[in-house]
Amino acid sequence: MRLDAAIDGYLAHLERERGYAANTVRAYRGDLRSLAEHCERAGLDDAERLDIEALRDWLFASAEAGMGKSTLARRSAAARGLSRWIAAHGGVDVAGRLRTPKRDRHLPRVLSRQAMDDALAALAAAAGEGDPVALRDLAVVELLYASALRVSELVGLDVDDVDLERLTVRVTGKGSKERVVPFGRPALDALLDWMRIGRERLQHPAKPHPALFLGVRGGRLGQRRVHELVTSLLESLPGSGPHGPHTLRHTAATHLLDGGADLRAVQEMLGHASLGTTQIYTHVSLERLAEAYRTAHPRA
């Protein structure tokens, strides 16, 4: 089997049988195309001739090109998965001893509760004028912060995914896995105003759309527009670091732990497959506690 054919088969397996997210499959495709080009230059265009040394050389070349540890870790995972798939189809798994570089762990930017209150108050003031876009933007940010959703999960919501009585949303996350996530009363109020007033005004009368959040033309709200909204909102707030929607997810998770939420419950809410991924927020909480101590304690 040619290596490029094996790559196509493996990617199809991830997408159709394993239910991997489109973004993950796209990233793996780019990684494995790079591997195929590297192997072709070395005369290893058959999957049966792929070996551990070729994989290590490819990762070394990727590192020399300046790729970060997170990218190298993903490339390692893609190569190991491909090797296992080749083995399942009559070949040999050559990547079992391929080591994954350890990722750098950076504490995410987290907003203070006061900063979040100020941001939401500014959006609420704009929405008070009754503008449908302003009503939508307030509901978007309230729900992102209340439920710690990924932006892809938020824009993928349909009206039927929202339970206004139980204050929950049904979310399709990574790997097409569904989970039910709660939200609070402020988010409920913002959603009700958006759905009863704003959404009706943006809905196309001839082509009604099931999406919860609509763009100005009546179609599903796009991820880019949410990024622009949150970036613009957070740029004016104190604190350095990223300004995108993921900052609201980090902030929500940290505020939950600050308030005494169980780590496992936060893991479930965020849709993390591993508890280790969620534990980064315990480090954030401890760092915030240490900073508060250094600021406030007379003997610090």
pLDDT of 244: 83
- At 197-218, the pLDDT tens digits run 999 999 988 888 999 999 998 9
Whether the per-residue pLDDT at 105 is higher than 60: the answer is: no
Whether the per-residue pLDDT at 285 is higher than 90: the answer is: no
Instruction: Name the residue with tokens 């915030």.
Output: 288
Active-site positions?
A: 150, 174, 246, 249, 272, 281
pLDDT of 77: 92
DSSP-assigned letter for residue 169: E
Categorize the per-residue pLDDT at 195 as very low, low, confident or very high, splitting at 50, 70 and 90.
very high
- At 226-269, the pLDDT tens digits run 999 999 998 877 765 667 888 898 888 888 888 888 888 888 88
The answer to whether 245 and 230 are in contact (CB under 8 A) is yes
pLDDT of 94: 87
> HEC string of 89-126?
CCCCCCCCCCCCCCCCCCCCCCCCHHHHHHHHHHHHHH
pLDDT of 117: 92
Structural domains of the chain in order of their starting residue, each with its CATH number: 3-88 (1.10.150), 113-296 (1.10.443.10)
Whether the per-residue pLDDT at 103 is higher than 80: the answer is: no
**Residues 23, 28, 31: CA angle, nearest 5 degrees:** 130
pLDDT of 154: 94
Intra-chain end-to-end CA distance of the chain, in Å: 65
pLDDT of 300: 46
What's the average model confidence in pLDDT over 26-51? 85
Rounded distance between C-alpha atoms, residue 38 and residue 10, angstroms? 18
168 or 291: which leads in pLDDT: 168
- At 117-150, the pLDDT tens digits run 999 999 999 998 889 999 999 999 999 999 999 8
SS3 163: strand
The answer to whether 230 and 141 are in contact (CB under 8 A) is yes
pLDDT of 88: 92
- At 41-96, the pLDDT tens digits run 777 777 777 888 889 888 888 887 878 888 898 999 999 999 999 999 988 888 87
